[in-house]
Amino acid sequence: PRLYQLLVVCSVSGGGLLAISDQNSPIRSAFADAGYNADIKKKKVVVLGTGWAGTSFLKNLKDPSYDVKIVSPRNYFAFTPLLPSVTNGTVESRSIVEPIRSIVRKKKFDVYFKEAECYKIDTENRKVYCRSTQQNNLGGVEEFTVDYDYLVIAMGARSNTFNTPGVVEHAHFLKEVEDAQRIRRTVIDCFERASLPSVSEEEKKRILHFVVVGGGPTGVEFAAELHDFVNEDLAKLYPKLKEHVRITLLEAGDHILNMFDKRITVFAEEKFARDGIDVKVGSMVTKVAEKEICTKERSTGQTVSIPYGMVVWSTGIGTRPVVMDFMKQIGQTNRRVLATDEWLRVEGCDNIYALGDCATINQRKVMEDISAIFSKADKNNTGHLKVDDFKEVIKDICERYPQVEIHLKKKQLKNFLQLLKNSDANDELNIEKFKLALSEVDTQMKNLPATAQVAAQQGTYLADCFNRMELCEKYPEGPLRFRGTGRHRFRPFRYKHLGQFAPLGGEQTAAQLPGDWVSIGHSSQWLWYSVYASKQVSWRTRYLVVSDWGRRFVFGRDSSRI
Ligand code: FAD
């Protein structure tokens, strides 16, 4: 039996019901405050996080039979793809955020929000432990618990420093709205400091040297935005400093944007070279000091020290401590993020779901499943399948695992598909060969990419499952497509890749769309504007973002240091 530990007492004033979790616990249950009437029949859904995954889940949850509680240290949703535009004032920070209370206000059922962070998940008693992010009137931090029947973990990730010394102390991250605001102020600070009369030429050069670490989409977009800001706006306001400004992009790998099509990588590197952005590949940062950054150059093996004025660190994401503790608790050690099955259920837990950047679908299991599908088709255990059967199996695998479909375009599998196409119907093809090709690609398809697109689709998918949960329980004989597998009553999550953008500055963007379609230049920039305007979470933010773009076209960017 579930341990609700729910005590119902009459409220003195209104005669309503007040829920208090674990009477003996010094930590009170949240939502037990006056005014909240717990309906014990409703299933309690607790959502941790108000980012892409959590918000998409909340927006799409329509079934009023849940009692929904949200816990997040951020009382708003932030449209992260526009964060680089906030760093230079192309878009204002308030234009890309929407209060979570406004988002859930339109729901036909009550949704409760607490601005707090979860610091522990107790799976045994189905409770999450939280502490507020603000001090209470006694000067302390309030702690409380929230009970759940279903827990949705959507806590995202944090910036990864790879334990490089000095990064936390001296570098800027670009993960949250506050980071973008801080970067904007620091850039202006650097220009103002370099304008002071006592500053030597050498020092000016150092102060106006902006270093970006990480040649992924965020680092590249930030470098491009900074270049535009400097050239289109700051150069006019600080004409004497223009010649001292330098932007360097450090990348440990061989190329920037290496997750994109080769054509985009080449175009971006050439464009940056023309723009004067110094791209250093094979350059691994070993230490960040107060005024210089140390790198180890792969080509020479030498350690180089680069003086800088501002460093932005954008080398990928790492696990949040609370998620790491939870992983240890449930035995998911030696993993980077929480492992779920294809229904987004955390492996080894009941009624706990994880989505977005803090989770990944366990691919090891996927490979095992793929082997099982082949074994089933290869009835005589010959290790071969006829061409038509092979095609059927591949179709089946792609339906279950959309990531395989994406990777069928990769060279190893493309060759195999060509062979399949050119073979006669009676030819038999080697299963192991296909699996080998797949496992070669597997190193790249281990996880779905950590993007807003994946997080949002997962949120929508999970909300859809929750919307139909009651119906499925009521009519268990209903159209349960996957009943035969005896695993779950909903179809597994399928990621639909809609393409990705890499803004490169100067009103040019690279777009890689499904079907290996690549478009680079000004037309893609307009596509980028349209997509990002349409993807805004509300009409208010859509209006604000579009008017910010218009303001920038007419008046340029604002360089006030506020
Ligand atoms: P997040 O959106 O990070 O949300 C996590 C939520 O959890 C937040 O509300 C946070 O406050 C909350 N939280 C944190 N700790 C706790 C806690 N202890 N308890 C409770 N709640 C907690 N993706 C794209 O697809 N396209 C892009 O163009 C793109 N551009 C990007 C640009 C930048 C600068 C950045 C940083 C990211 C970009 N991404 C982009 C990636 C995208 O933002 C992430 O993949 C996405 O935000 C992941 O969503 P999420 O819900 O998992 O996490």
CB of 219 sitting under 6 A from ligand 1: no
Q: Which fold has domain 362-445?
A: Recoverin; domain 1 (1.10.238)
Dist CA 152 CA 139 (whole Å): 31
Atom of ligand 1 nearest to the CA of 355: 52
Return the pLDDT at 15: 35
Q: Are 57 and 152 in contact (CB under 8 A)?
A: yes
Q: What are phi and psi of 77, to 5 degrees?
A: -100, 135
Taking each helix axis from N to C terminus, what angle separates 52-60 and 452-474, rounded to the nearest 10 degrees? 40
Atom of ligand 1 nearest to the CA of 357: 52
The residue whose two tokens read 């890749």 is: 497
Dist CA 382 CA 361 (whole Å): 31
Helices within 129-245 (DSSP H only): 167-170, 177-195, 201-207, 217-229, 235-237
Q: Which long-range contacts (CB under 8 A, 24 or more apart) does 90-93 make?
A: 90/225, 90/228, 90/229, 90/548, 90/549, 90/552, 90/557, 91/545, 91/548, 91/549, 91/552, 92/544, 92/548, 93/177, 93/180, 93/181
Q: Are 532 and 81 in contact (CB under 8 A)?
A: yes
CB of 557 sitting under 6 A from ligand 1: no
Q: Are 53 and 455 in contact (CB under 8 A)?
A: yes
| Token output for 511 | 């777009």
User: Hey, which of 50, 52, 131 would you mutate to test ligand 1's pocket, going by the most ligand atoms within 8 Å of its Cβ?
Assistant: 52
CB of 72 sitting under 6 A from ligand 1: yes
Return the pLDDT at 100: 95
Amino acid at 540: R
User: Hey, which of 55, 71, 72 would you mutate to test ligand 1's pocket, going by the most ligand atoms within 8 Å of its Cβ?
Assistant: 72
| Token output for 14 | 């209104």
Return the pLDDT at 442: 56
Q: Which residues contact 144 (CB under 8 A, 6 or more apart)?
A: 27, 28, 29, 30, 114, 116, 129, 130, 131, 132
CB of 96 sitting under 6 A from ligand 1: no
- Asked, colleague to colleague, whether 6-157+319-358 and 167-317 share their fold, the answer is yes
DSSP 334: T
Return the pLDDT at 380: 84
Q: Which residues contact 100 (CB under 8 A, 6 or more apart)?
A: 50, 55, 58, 70, 72, 74, 75, 76, 77, 113
Q: Are 21 and 40 in contact (CB under 8 A)?
A: no
Q: What is the pLDDT along the chain (562 residues), one digit of tens a residue?
A: 343 333 333 333 333 333 333 444 445 555 554 444 555 578 999 999 999 999 999 999 998 889 999 999 999 999 999 999 999 999 999 999 999 999 998 887 889 999 999 999 999 999 999 999 887 776 778 899 999 999 999 999 999 999 999 999 999 999 999 999 999 999 999 999 999 999 999 999 999 999 999 999 999 999 999 999 999 999 999 999 999 999 999 999 999 998 888 899 999 999 999 999 999 999 999 999 999 999 999 989 999 999 999 999 999 999 999 999 999 999 998 788 899 988 899 998 989 999 999 999 887 777 778 888 888 888 888 889 988 888 888 888 887 776 677 777 777 777 788 888 888 878 888 888 887 777 766 554 456 889 999 999 999 999 999 988 876 666 554 444 444 444 456 777 878 888 899 999 999 999 998 777 899 999 999 999 999 999 999 999 999 999 999 999 999 999 888 8
Dist CA 4 CA 21 (whole Å): 8
User: Hey, which of 55, 357, 501, 504 would you mutate to test ligand 1's pocket, going by the most ligand atoms within 8 Å of its Cβ?
Assistant: 357
Dist CA 455 CA 57 (whole Å): 9
Atom of ligand 1 nearest to the CA of 130: 19
Ligand 1, atom 41, lies closest to the CA of 451
How far CA 171 is from CA of 162, 257, 319, 361, in Å, comes to 13, 21, 19, 32
Residue among 409, 408, 364 at smallest CA distance from 390: 408
Q: Which fold has domain 167-317?
A: FAD/NAD(P)-binding domain (3.50.50)
Residue among 108, 139, 127, 124 at smallest CA distance from 48: 127
CB of 459 sitting under 6 A from ligand 1: no
CB of 155 sitting under 6 A from ligand 1: yes
| Token output for 155 | 């806590």
Report domain extents, the chain.
Answer: 6-157+319-358, 167-317, 362-445
Atom of ligand 1 nearest to the CA of 73: 11
What string of DSSP letters covers 189-207? Answer: HHHHHHHSTT--HHHHHHH
CB of 46 sitting under 6 A from ligand 1: no
Tally of CB atoms within 10 A around 138:
7
CB of 357 sitting under 6 A from ligand 1: yes
Domain 6-157+319-358 has CATH 3.30.465.10: no
Return the pLDDT at 29: 55
Atom of ligand 1 nearest to the CA of 119: 18
Ligand 1, atom 30, lies closest to the CA of 81
User: Hey, which of 153, 451, 495 would you mutate to test ligand 1's pocket, going by the most ligand atoms within 8 Å of its Cβ?
Assistant: 451
Taking each helix axis from N to C terminus, what angle separates 539-555 and 522-534, rounded to the nearest 10 degrees? 150
Atom of ligand 1 nearest to the CA of 156: 53
Identify how many contiguous H helices and E strands the chain contains and give both numbers: 18, 29
Q: Are 559 and 546 in contact (CB under 8 A)?
A: no
| Token output for 257 | 């944007």
Return the pLDDT at 219: 97
